[in-house]
Amino acid sequence: MKDLYIIKLGGSVITEKETASSERLDVIQRLAKEIHEARQEKGFALIVGHGGGSYPHRPAAEFRTGEGVIDEKSYEGIARVQDAAARLNRIIVRELIEAGENAVSIHLSSTSVSENGKIREMYTTPMKMMLDYGMLPVPYGDVGMDTKKGCCIISTEDIINYLAKHTKEIFPDYSLGRIIICGRVDGVFTGNPDEDSNAELIPLITPGNIKEVEQYLGGSSGTDVTGGMKHKVESMLELGVESEIINVLRPGYLKRALLGEEGIGTIVRGSE
């Protein structure tokens, strides 16, 4: 069995979320380099998912795409959201390739079907073949076709959740290790660390303490149609694998996490 890791690059890390279609190229390039260096040092299979940030979130909000097909303008919304999300994905894939990885886009809008906003099925055979070839699949938050609503927003957390839940079925030769959620904060705190000097890092979240922690799970800053930190943590708690929320604006943190270091962020564990 080969180790499989999954990374989620948050939209607030790779884009300027308050400025439409504005990527943070320097950050993307550094993270691509850290990913490649870690893969060179430790031979693990990897899937890199990423959020859309300021690319698709604006048209998604404008056309209310998350509500489904609500009027004739909804079809234009589907097209514009998919186009915006794909444009950012091409930047991520390009920089991973430049860093030395054989990265390939995975478009959920054309490889999955959702039901009431949740992925019902995904065609994963190409992704499995890419992993076998040592390549790097790069799925991303996208618009999806929905059997109940007509369309929906597929968040990166939903993609990761689906892949993690079905790992044994769709990736039988791989053992899912860590899931690393890459944001711009050091983890989950008891307050806003930028405003409250007494705010403390919560090192571990489990089903046993989630009720106590819920009050601290505010939304992500900027326009975000996928639910913010609360959605991220709830999604990770559903999984039976260890996840960690880290601050990848700190150089070297992603590489350290990929090489197995723990405790540099908030660990989310679905079991006690």
Q: What is the pLDDT of residues 215-235, one digit of tens each?
A: 888 654 443 444 467 777 887
Nearest 5°: the CA angle 39, 40, 45 is: 30
Q: What is the pLDDT of residue 226?
A: 41
Average pLDDT over residues 12-28: 93
Amino acid at 81: V
The answer to whether 46 and 39 have CB atoms below 8 angstroms apart is yes
The pLDDT tens digits of the residues spanning 36-56 come to: 999 999 999 999 999 999 999
Bridge partners for 145 per DSSP: 151
Instruction: Select from 89, 87, 83 the least CA-distant residue to 106.
Output: 89
Q: What is the pLDDT of residue 192?
A: 79
Note the pTM of the prediction, 2 decimals.
Answer: 0.91
Instruction: Give the CA radius of gyration of the chain.
Output: 18
Average pLDDT over residues 253-263: 93
The pLDDT tens digits of the residues spanning 127-151 come to: 999 999 999 999 999 999 999 999 9
Phi, psi dihedrals of residue 59, rounded to the nearest 5°? -65, -30
- Fold assignment, 2-268: Carbamate kinase (3.40.1160)
Q: What is the pLDDT of residue 219?
A: 53
**CB atoms inside a 10 Å sphere around CB 25:** 11
CA–centroid distance for 174 within its chain:
20
The pLDDT tens digits of the residues spanning 163-207 come to: 999 999 999 999 998 999 999 889 888 887 778 888 889 999 988
**CB atoms inside a 10 Å sphere around CB 184:** 18
- d(CA 222, CA 220) in angstroms, rounded, equals 6
